[in-house]
Every structure is written in structure tokens, then in C-alpha cells.
Structure 1
């Protein structure tokens, strides 16, 4: 049953987890898992029978799709608890046009991840150690690919893509905070793996170049840039972005990184600030003037692009008739 304190897990195989008892409920059938995942992604909003049919069967729906969806909802209710119990009736609500999932006092690990990620980003601005710790907690919630066994339909596939993008942004923020923290050591190998897994995502390579330079491995840092340059030219026909080009220019212009900090006080952060100023601000003089600002704007544009996609998805759902009578809530001030 999805009750108070329960957690609906989407960051991996779909399941319902009960932290108090340690037990979990896993829908045995692929259709029940997809149904639960779809209702959870759209929690608080009615999902029409037509959209559920498309999510569960795609282009080959059964002859009586409405009855088939109703049968799967009934099975899911039995799995979550007594079908006549008020908790289950209030959790999966039958609406005139479809079904709605109310979480009530339950939660999802996806929302927990988003909240911790936001807190970590905010904290990292003034306290990199605390920010890194919060981002690490957020990332530890992942048990595998998001909605790992429910990506067949458009709703879950789109949500899985959004969550994966948020995970990568959280990873970038985590390693940036680690580099700015008092104890940034031990992350070079992890950044090498991430840069290899995501060769077209330049931020990981940028952070790796910083880590290598700080470890007095300047030639390897330059090799990272060359590897990315060749990959981008071959696969996309473009050059690296301004941030990565500026990093290379700084490495070519300047010698070894500052001396390693002592493991006390906040020297790690102060060293990073001095290094960042040396390799980002002064590196962009001459033809590359303004590249640092361009890189910052680029990262902000990525965040705004995600927010725009989310608002568009909500607007389309409202326009299609979901809660059509309810006005749009004003956007919170950031």
C-alpha cells in the first residue's frame, strides 16, 4: 500500500518502498509497472484512458482498451492493498476521463533527488563541502537508470530522459563543488570515467582538465582537450565550446598549478578561487575576451531550457483537459 511514509521509487526499477519495515512492493507484470510509473510521473493530474492506452500498448492496443486499462488498474489496486480499503481508493482515483494518483503523505525518490540537488547547488556557492555532501546524498538515491523497466511509452520515456539530464547536471555540480572544497583529492579517476562515458558533454572534460592540472599532470590535461576536439570534429563537425578552449589557453599560458594546500582550514577553497581566477578570467583576454561569461551564460541557458520543457509539458497537459478548470499557479520567485 502507498501510505504515509511510503516512497515510490522511480530512480531505477519501479517499486514501492516502506522505510519503516524495509519491505518493498514490486508489480509483477510489465503492464502494472508501466501503469504505476505513468501515474506516478503524472501524480496529482488525471491521465486519460487514451494516454494510458498509448503508454501501455503503443500502436497495437487491445480491442477494448478501456476495459483492459480498468482491469490493470484493479490488479494494481489489489497489489497495493485491499481494493475496498479507503487508502487505496483515495490513492488511485477513478475520474470521468481517466485515473489520478494521489501521493498524500507518500513521496517519490525523484522528488527527493530534485530537492537535495537544489539544496546542494545553493549550498555549494558559499560552502563547497556542504554542497558536495548534499549532492552526494542526492546521487546516492539512484539504483540504476530511471524508470529502468518502464520506458516503452512516451510519458515514461520523456520523464526518464529528463531525470537522466538532471542526474548529469547534479554530477557536474558535485565534482565542481569537490574541486572547490578543502579536500578535492581522489576524483580524477571518477572524472576520467565520466568524460569517457559522455565524450560530447564538455563539462566533464573541463572538470577533468582542472583536476589533472592541479595534480601537476598538465600534459595529460592538454591531451583531454585534444581528444574532445577530435571527437567533436568527427561526430558533429564542430569545435569545443568557449569554456574548454579557454581552459586549454590557460594551460598553455601558465605553468604548474599552485602548491598543494595543507589539509586544514579552508585553504582548498581559497586555492581553487585563485586557480579559477588565473585559468578562467585572465585566460580569456585578447581574442577570447568574454568567453568566461559566455560559458556561465551557456550553463544558465541549459537550466532555462529544462525549465521551459517542464512548463511546456504542464501547459500541454492542461490544454488537453487535465484540470482545465484550475488556473495556472504563479511561478515562484527565484
Structure 2
């Protein structure tokens, strides 16, 4: 069953581009104007449903150079963000989406999905349909990619929470692009995609999959010599960028084009080399969710350890006071 990704009746948190919140009931768009406000909102959305400690948020906003009174400054930023989000709150207008806990702050999204969640769900649906229905798969993946308005978490600073999530989302976007063009090639749309793949190989010179897809598209357009030229360009760029030549999948593609293997002319299933890459790509996307869950667990353990250290320090100080009092 496909997930309904139509417009929400309530809130819409967006991180695939500048961080912003849309309230579809009032038609308003909420965008923090200050850099610290954007970073705070971004971190809370990325870790929605999880208590973020004050120490973690201070590090996210100021890094290794926090201001004097950083805890008070953070409280002020949280208060301003609460006021900014107050018109979008569910039920009681005074009810805040951000709640304070003994160990930090928590943002609850409720039933409102983020655009990143919609992107992940549509991408997964597209991957699942690539073989059986490439046209439908391409449509799903195009819809997923259309959710992007710019670099993920743009303008949200370079704290660890936002930087890691931005990198994860960007890798997922590139994998979705690769899978989308595979689906279009399976659907005999090779003439349509060559220009787009040319631009992608220029923009991402170390992504071998884009070269592979471009070579196949050019070959199916009757441009065999140009397809072989793409391999040489890929070899030179890879040697220049990372110091190694093309991997076995791209070498296999070049050899199959040299030999004019019959399977290359088919507009249906891609030859084996591409199929293996697609399976790896799908595994990478599936793994990203597990990595995110493991990271959240590691973060939680870290917070628990910090709290234990704090309590132990307090007990030690009290013990010294009692001892000195004797």
C-alpha cells in the first residue's frame, strides 16, 4: 500500500532545504530569521520525539566556543522559538510544541510527518517497483525528489546533529536519483535522460553509478563511441579526485559495450552489473534507518552516562563535605 503524501491538514515540518514549518490551516509559513533559531529548530526536528540535553544543544548552536551564560542564552532561544511556533500549536493556543524535561528539551511532531519522512517512504516505494513497474517507480521517485527545495537543513549551521543528518539525507537523495534513472532506462526513456545524466556526472564526479547509467543510455541511443568516451572521462576524473580507477561494475559496462553484448539493447531489465549496484543501493538506503536508530541509542546511552557522572560527582562532593565537617 502506498503512503498518502498529500498536503497535511495541520503542520508540515520541512528540512529538505531551509528549515521551515507550514501551518496548512492558516496558510502561514514559519521560518526563524536568526541563525541560532534555525539551528535550534533544525536540531529539534531532526531528533523529534527525543529529549535533547541542554549541553547537546549548546554544542549544536555554539560548538566549542559557547558564550558566557550559554544555558541562559539557550533558554532564551527556546522561549523565542516557542512563541514563533505558538500559532501552529494543536488545541490550546498556549500549548507549546516544545516541552522542557529535567534533562533537556523535546519537540513532538504529533501526526505531522516531515518532508524527509515522506521522501524516505516514496523512495522506498519507488525502489520496490523498479523491476515490476518501472514507469510507476520513476513517477514515485520523481515525486520524492521534487520534495527537495535545496540542500538539506540549509542555513542550520554545522553542529554535529544537523551536519550528520544533512550528509545522510544527501546520500539518500543521490541514491534515489540513481534508482530513478535506472527506472527510466528500464522504461525505454534513454533519449530523454542523457542530458540529465551528463550534468549529474559533472556535478558528482566520483559517483560511478551515474557514469554507468549514462554509458548505457548513450549506447541505446546509438552513440557507442560517446559511451566509451564516458568511461575514459570517468577513469580520469576518479584518478584525479580519489586516486583510483573505475570499479568492476563500470569496467564490466565498458567491456560489454566494446563487445556489443545483446542484452545492452534491451529496454527492459538492465544487465547484471547495474542490477547488482541497484541491490547495493537499496541495501544502503535500508541500512540508513538502522544506523539512525543505533545513533539515537548511542546518544541516549551517552546522556545516561553523563547523568551518572553528574550524580557521582555530587555524591563525592557531599562525602567530602561530611568528612571535613567531622
Partner SS, residue 54 of structure 1? helix
**Structure 1 residues 301 and 106, CA, compared in 2 at 3 Å: closer, same or farther?**
closer
Distance apart, 1:147 and its partner CA = 0.6
The yes-or-no answer on 1:114 pairing with 2:129 is no
Counterpart among 290, 313, 321 of residue 295 in structure 2: 313
Change (3 A) 1:228 1:44: same
- Whether 2:45 is the aligned partner of 1:40: answer yes
Preserved CA contact (<8 Å) 1:146 1:160:
yes
Q: Map Cα deviations across residues 139-158 of structure 1 (whole Å, 9 max, x no partner).
A: 00000001110032111011
Partner residue, 1:265? none
Deviation string 1:46-67 (CA, Å, 9 cap, x unpaired) is 0000010001111111211111
Give the 3-state SS of the residue equivalent to 1:94 in structure 2. strand
- Report if aligned partners of 2:86, 2:96 keep a CA contact under 8 Å in 1: no
Distance 1:21 1:157 in 2: 32
Gaps of 5+ in 1: 260-269, 281-290, 325-334
Secondary structure of the 2:268 match is: helix
Task: Please report how far the alpha carbon of residue 18 of structure 1 lies from its aligned counterpart in structure 2 after TM superposition.
Answer: 2.5
The alpha-carbon deviation at position 303 of structure 1 amounts to 4.1
1:280-323, Cα deviation, whole Å (9 max, x unpaired): 4xxxxxxxxxx67864665466446635532431221221237x
Q: Within 2, Cα distance between the matches of 1:184 and 1:171?
A: 15
Go from structure 1 to structure 2 and tell me whether the alpha carbon gap of 1:184 and 1:191 turns closer, same or farther (over 3 Å shift). Answer: same
Correspondence for 1:75? 80
Which of 15, 23, 45 aligns to 1:10? It is 15
Aligned pair partner of 1:272 in 268, 273, 285: 268
Counterpart-to-counterpart distance in 2, 1:295 and 1:135: 17
After superposition, residues 52-131 of structure 1 pair within 5 angstroms as 52-81=57-86, 86=92, 89-131=95-137
Name structure 2 gaps, 5 residues minimum. Answer: 1-7, 307-326
Give the 5 Å matches for 1:242-253: 242-253=248-259
Does the 8 A contact of 2:11 with 2:22 survive in 1? yes
Q: Secondary structure at the match of 2:175?
A: helix
Say if 1:300 and 1:4 are closer, same or farther in 2 by CA, change over 3 A.
closer
2:29 counterpart SS class: strand
Q: CA RMSD in A?
A: 2.7
How do residues 102-251 of structure 1 correspond to structure 2 at under 5 angstroms?
A: 102-251=108-257
Write the distance in 2 (CA, Å) between the matches of 1:42 and 1:88: 23
Give me the whole-angstrom Cα distance separating, in 2, the residues matched to 1:41 and 1:18: 19
TM-aligned CA distance change 1:297 to 1:112, over 3 Å: closer
Q: For structure 1, which segment, 291-300 or 76-85, has the greater mean C-alpha deviation from structure 2 after superposition? A: 291-300
Partner in structure 2 of residue 25 of structure 1: 30
Would you say the 8 A contact 2:50–2:106 is kept in 1? yes
Whether the 8 Å CA contact 2:35–2:157 is kept in 1: the answer is: no
Q: How many residues align?
A: 297
Aligned partner of residue 272 in structure 1, secondary structure: coil
Q: In structure 1, what is the Cα distance between the partners aligned to 2:148 and 2:276?
A: 32
Check the 8 A contact 1:4/1:105 in 2, yes or no. Answer: no
Query: How far apart, in 1, do the equivalents of 2:170 and 2:157 lie?
Result: 13
Aligned-residue offset at 1:205 = 0.5
Under a length normalisation based on structure 2, what TM-score does the superposition of the two structures give?
0.83
Q: TM-score, normalised by structure 1?
A: 0.81
